[in-house]
Amino acid sequence: MERSSGVLMPITSLPNDLGIGSFGQEAYDFIDFLVRTKQTYWQVLPLTTTSYGDSPYQSFSAYAGNTHLIDLHTLVDQGLLTKDSLSQSDFGADLTMIDYGKIFTARRPLLEQAVQTFIEKGGLETERFMTFYARNEDWLVPFAEYMTVKEGFDNKAWHEWDDDYKHYDAKRVHTYCEKERLRYHYHLVTQYFFDEQWQALKDYANQKCIQIIGDIPIYVAQDSVEMWMFPELFKVDHTGTPTMVAGTPPDGFSDTGQYWGNPVYDWEKMANHHFDWWVKRIAHNFYLYDMLRIDHFKGFESYWEIPFGSPDPSYGHWSKGPGKALFKAIKDELGELNIIAEDLGFMNDDVVALREYTGFPGMKILSFGFNGECDSLDLPHHYPKNSVAYVGTHDNETARGWYEDTATQVQRDQMSHYLSRQYGEPAAYALDRGIAATVSDLAVYTMQNLLNLNNSARLNEPGTIGGNWQWRMTEDQYSETLEEHLLDLTETYFRTNPKLKEADAATAGTVK
C-alpha cells in the first residue's frame, strides 16, 4: 500500500427511502463523496446473507449475497417492479435506524414479484444470467437448495428439519426443489440481481480510483449450507452436531468471554485436501473486492474452542490453527493478495510471527491506547508502517461515545495531551487526526466519528443480541463542513489518493 486513507461505512447504513442502505444511487453518491475528499478506499462489512440477530458475521452461506442490499429502484428502472409497489410498502418510518422486521416483511414480496417478471421475460435464458450461473454454480445451486428446503421447514435451521432432510441427499433434495421451482428460482435470481448490481457499483468505484475493502468472517454459522452439505469440514459428531464451537476467553468485552457459537473447522481434514475450500473462498472474495480484511486472524494461529453446550465460554481452551500451511496454500494457488489481518486481541509471539510471514498489514486501534496509566502498543509511536490505523472498528463505541460515556478523566486527559487536542476540538476529531498523522500506510475513519456522533450511532456491541447493526446515516448529514473536515485530514497528513496524485501530475505536465 501507498500512504492513503479511506472510510468504513456499511452499505446498510447509507441513506435512502427504502429502510436500509442498498446498491442504489445512495451508494454511487457515497463514492462521489469519497472522490471529492480524495480518499482511496471504501471499507464495507461482509455482504453475505444475515440470519438471526441480523449480523453480517452470521450467514446462511459463505458466498451468497445479502438480498437486503439489492436496490429496488434499479429493479423499477429495469421494468421488473412498479413505482406504486414501492410507495405502498412499509419499510419503517425511522430514517436513522433499520427496522429489520419491517424490512424482512416488505422486501420479500417485492423481490418475488421482480423474479417472476424476470422469468416471464425470459431472463433465465439470457446470456448474462447463464454466464452468472455457470461461474457460480458450485456454491449457487447448493445455496438455492438449502434455502428452498429451509423455507419449507418454516425457516428453521437444518438440524431441526425432518430426518429425511437433515443430512444432505442430492437426489431427495433435487426432487424437492423440482416441486418448489418458484422458490428455488427465487434464490437463484435474487443472487443474480445482487451480483449484477454489486459489480456495476464496484466498477463505478474502480473507475473513480476508489478501491473496495471487503470483510470475510473466519467462521460460518451452524445454520448454513456449508454445515449441511459438508459436515466433514467441521468438528462434529455422527449426527452432524458440533462438538466444539467458537468464541473467546474472558476479555475486555466480557468477564466470561464471548460465545459465538460457530462450528470450528477440522483443520487436519482441510489440510489433507490442500485447503481447497479456503482457496476457493478467498478467490471468490477477490472477485467481490479489491482488498480483503480477514476477521479474527488470531484464529489461524490458535483459536478458543468451547465444548458444545458449555455453561459459558470460560469452559473452552486454546487449540492450534493451521498456521503458515494455510497461507502458503493460498499463495501457491492465488499469488500475492491484498489482505489486512485483523490481529486484535490475545496477541502473542506466534500470531506476530504468522502475520509477519504472510506480510499482511495488521490493525491498530488508537482508542485502545489510552489507558491513563502507562505506555501502550496501541499508541501511534509504536505503529509500524505496514499497518492500518483505526480509532475503533464496527465493534467499538464511537469516539465521542467512548470519550463521554466510558473513558475516565485520566484517560481523557491523557488523550487530549498526547494528541495536542485543540481548545474546543471534538474528541472524535482529535482521534481521527491522531490516526491520520501516524506512519501507518492506511488510515480508516468510521463515518460515525467523521460526523461526531455519540453511542446512539454505535453499530455493534459484541456479546449482545438485538439492537445491533441498525444505525443509518441521514441525507442531511452530508455537508460542506463534513467534506472540508475529511479533506483537511487527507491533505494535511499527505494521504491523498495516489491515483489522483498521478492524474494531477500528468495534467500538470501536459503542454496546452
The three-point CA angle 405-411-417 to 5° equals: 125
Measured CA distances, 455 to 392, 421, 451, 506 (Å): 12, 21, 12, 44
8-state DSSP, 344: -
Candidates 195, 226, 342, 432; catalytic one: 342
Measured CA distances, 450 to 67, 331, 391, 458 (Å): 28, 36, 11, 13
Helix axes 170-179, 181-207, angle to 10 degrees: 90
Residue 207, Cβ neighbours under 10 Å: how many?
A: 9
Measured CA distances, 289 to 83, 210, 360 (Å): 32, 11, 16
- Phi then psi dihedrals of residue 236, to 5 deg: -135, 165
Candidates 151, 290, 395, 404; catalytic one: 395
Of the candidates 477, 461, 52, 111, the one whose C-alpha atom is nearest the C-alpha of residue 258 is: 461
Distance between CA atoms of residues 385 and 376, nearest Å: 17
Is 295 considered catalytic here? yes
Distance between CA atoms of residues 35 and 482, nearest Å: 14
Distance between CA atoms of residues 383 and 360, nearest Å: 14
Is 196 considered catalytic here? no
8-state DSSP, 430: H
Contact 145, 169 (CB under 8 A): no
Candidates 195, 215, 226, 295; catalytic one: 295
Under DSSP, is residue 340 helix (H, G, I), strand (E, B) or coil? Answer: strand
Distance between CA atoms of residues 423 and 265, nearest Å: 52
Residues 6+ away with beta carbon under 8 Å from 362: 297, 340, 341, 343, 355, 384, 386, 387, 388
Residues annotated catalytic, as ranges: 295, 342, 395
